[in-house]
């Protein structure tokens, strides 16, 4: 694996580890959602770095997913994926990070975000470790 792709994958793993640390805290569901989005984004960028040698400066996981499909097919739960895509906030105001249109995600939503993101990370890690 290319060094830069490995760096993207390690950054994604850091987000995964943060989620594992905070998942049980009902006050931090918004941060679980935020780190889940980041986990997916960085995982996709690892694929692009490995196979294209370049990573676009964008944050839409929907667009990134389209860009990686020639290298790996990642099936997703489209509802969860669409919700996570909405989480990246350009302005990055602390009060908005990880919030859905209706506010903080529920505990169940946070768990679903974690499950989706960790499965994507697992599949990409497996692909890149070959």
DSSP, residue by residue, 2-39: -HHHHHHHHHHHHHHHHHHHHTT-GGGHHHHHHHHHHH
> What residue numbers bound the domain in which 38 lies?
3-129
Question: What is this structure's pTM?
Answer: 0.92
**Is 106's pLDDT higher than 50?**
yes
- Report the chain's mean pLDDT, rounded to a whole number: 91
CATH of residue 94 = 1.20.120.330
**pLDDT confidence tier of residue 130, bands split at 50, 70 and 90:** confident
pLDDT tens-place string over residues 48-79: 999 999 999 999 999 999 999 999 999 999 99
Number of domains making up the chain: 1
């Amino acid at each position: 694996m290319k060094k830069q792709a490995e760096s993207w994958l390690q950054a994604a793993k850091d987000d995964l580890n943060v989620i594992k640390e905070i998942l049980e805290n009902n006050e931090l569901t918004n941060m679980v959602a935020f780190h889940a989005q980041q986990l997916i984004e960085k995982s996709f960028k690892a694929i692009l770095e490995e196979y294209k040698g370049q990573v676009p400066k964008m944050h839409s996981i929907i667009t990134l997913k389209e860009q990686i499909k020639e290298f790996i097919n990642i099936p997703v739960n489209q509802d969860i994926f669409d919700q996570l895509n909405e989480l990246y906030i350009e302005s990055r105001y602390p009060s908005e990070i990880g919030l859905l249109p209706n506010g903080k995600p529920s505990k169940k939503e946070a768990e679903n975000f974690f499950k989706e993101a960790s499965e994507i990370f697992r599949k990409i890690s497996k692909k890149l470790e070959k």
